[in-house]
Structure 1
Amino acid sequence: MKSSTQPLQSMPSSPAVPSAGSMLTQVSSVLAFIVLLILACAWLARRCGFAPRRVSSQSLNVSASVSIGQRERVVIVDVDDARLVLGVTAQHITHLHTLPPKAPDPQSEPMATADFRHLLQTFLKRSGKSQ
């Protein structure tokens, strides 16, 4: 038997190892996408009413406001022991008058913090999908 030797053929090449730069680019782009996705979900939650509203301070509250020019306003601010009538412009805030404190309404009760179940029911009723 005659043995014939064939020339070595090129071996199948192994898969190319990605460079560190391309891997870093992929990881950073995925991370940026995840951060943007989280921000979009937070914006959507606030827009749909899932996020709790910021509770304003009860010691300082703007109860009325009226515009008297392009940038001029008269506002009534409720504080703990008085109501202040203020003139507000782009540059200054001027105290115009002090009113006696407003009598508390017996019917108005502080709104309790809504739990998730109540928020979900409110959202479903608003979108018309309630059962």
Structure 2
Amino acid sequence: MRNKLLQLVHIGKTQLGMDDETYRSLLSQQFYQNSAKNISYSGLIKLVKLLQSKGAKIQLPKSKSTLSPLQRKVWAVWKSTADNPTSQALNAYVARIGVDEPWNMMNNSQASFVLETLKKWQERKGN
């Protein structure tokens, strides 16, 4: 799936007629990286959406989930721990603990942090 996203990024770059300097400047400004290979899975999804908003005619692959493995783990632990296991409630929890992204757009570092807080909560709750 990651390779497919990288392909879409490069197709979008070509469709938009971006030269290498402009493309790398975009990556640097938006993702603090100089290569799409260094961007997280969720970051690649954001990059594809950004290229779409600029006019690229690319589509995210239709799959069961566009969530990273860590995001799926966060969701699974949330559903087994929370009294109100909805996406909105998880977003509220994530914001309350200081993560600025919605749970399904977190990078791996943010998802790891949220997962650890959920595990601690689960231990306190006795699940």
TM range (shorter): under 0.3
Structure holding more helix per residue: 2
- Using structure 1 for the length normalisation, give the TM-score: 0.19
The structure, 1 or 2, with the larger RCO (C-alpha pairs under 8 Å, 6+ apart) is 2
Structure with bigger strand share is: 1
Highest CA radius of gyration, 1 or 2?
1
